[in-house]
Structure 1
């Protein structure tokens, strides 16, 4: 169960790294992102597809570019991550208390 969560967090980290590259370098293509991140082309392509499905990027003839929704997503991102971290911290505390009983 925890292994699955760790894999999801790793994948989310990759998606966000790809999004950051698009924001900072738009338009940008798969080859350049793959070379700069070290991720294989197929993983970059998958992240781009996920980001496109979330309407955070869109393809152009020169490469991926941001959308009107990107800045709103980025503005809310830190708060959402903090909320998730708080939930995880609460789970850790709850589990520690249960072990003691």
Structure 2
């Protein structure tokens, strides 16, 4: 129960990453094609694209979404390492319960 919200958020992050990967492989690509390729409903694709755009990772074009030139994907990897560290700390705390 305590971790339910964190789990939900991580599932959303995973979806964003799947959308980003599909854009990378198929750019430029539109919402309908992304939905079909990723097997994710269109409304969730739209949300993921909006978040990725706000994060400076993708940009919309008249032909569909593309990875933005100069997008800092290494920052994602750095953030993941910090999350993994926190998860290890949580695991340590749970051992004592």
| TM-score when normalising by structure 1 | 0.86
Following the alignment from structure 2 to structure 1, what is the Cα–Cα distance between the partners of residues 56 and 44?
A: 18
Q: Which has the higher helix share?
A: 1
Following the alignment from structure 1 to structure 2, what is the Cα–Cα distance between the partners of residues 79 and 53?
A: 19
Q: What secondary structure does 2:13 align onto?
A: helix
Partner residue, 2:88: 89
8 A contact 2:22–2:34 mirrored in 1: yes
- How far the C-alpha of 1:81 sits from its partner, in A, is 1.1
Q: Which runs of 5+ in 2 are unaligned?
A: none
The number of equivalent residue pairs is 96
Q: What secondary structure does 1:68 align onto?
A: coil
Question: How well do the aligned residues superpose, as a CA RMSD in angstroms?
Answer: 1.3
CA radius of gyration, larger in: 1
1:29-40 equivalences in 2 (<5 Å): 29-40=30-41
| TM-score when normalising by structure 2 | 0.89
